[in-house]
Amino acid sequence: MSLSEELFEKTTINRRLELALRDNKNEIINLRTQIDQQSETLKDMESLKSVTEEQDIMKKEMERLFQSSWSVLNSLCSQYYEKDSPKLRQTFVKHIENEIKKLKNPKAQAELEKSVNRYMGGIIAHLREEYKCVKSKDIPFLTLLIAGLSPKTVCLFQDMSLDNFYVKRYRIVKKIEESDNPDKDWVISLIMNSKS
């Protein structure tokens, strides 16, 4: 084999190797792309699993809260029907007042705030962090409103008159309206959505 033939053969082999190398590089790029896509799919699946687990927790908590709210009503109705005399009914009213006092304590209010945050997109934490115009002393009032309690119920928990309730709610809403927060309309809708 002559030198030129040998050189031609080596050049041909070299070109074939370059083409094979280029094909392998393209295949590696395609495999990396597939791996990246599969990694994203796996992340999405993990995220969905996390969301599903959170929804299960929320469902169980909502069921618990729903059932406990009926148990209080059942207990109150049962006690009321057992009271035949005015004196016994007076005792019943005292019992209701004691139950309201229990719900006014800081631990019960903290639990309510925690539940409202959990089930309403972290709204109370958002108010604390993003709305500097809202005073910390107004947070329990807002928590009760956003939880969906009626004005009269809020008044019982806050030891305020109905007139003061409307003045306080108006004052807070006005401050929020004047803020620069982009989601203020949403926050106001939650506050005003109480059973006014």
pLDDT in tens, 15-56: 887 887 788 788 888 888 888 888 888 787 777 777 788 878
Cβ-Cβ contacts under 8 Å for 144 (sequence gap 6 or more): 112, 153, 154, 157, 158
- Other Cβ atoms closer than 10 A to 118: 15
Q: What is the pLDDT of residues 9-24, one digit of tens each?
A: 878 888 887 887 788 7
> For residue 71, what pLDDT band results from cuts at 50, 70 and 90?
low
- How high does pLDDT run on average in the chain? 82
Tell me how long the chain is: 196
pLDDT-based confidence at 169, cuts 50/70/90? very high
41: exposed, middle or buried (C-beta count within 10 Å: 0-12, 13-18, 19+)?
Answer: exposed
DSSP per-residue string spanning 25-81:
HHHHHHHHHHHHHHHHHHHHHHHHHHHHHHHHHHHHHHHHHHHHHHHHHHHHHHHHH
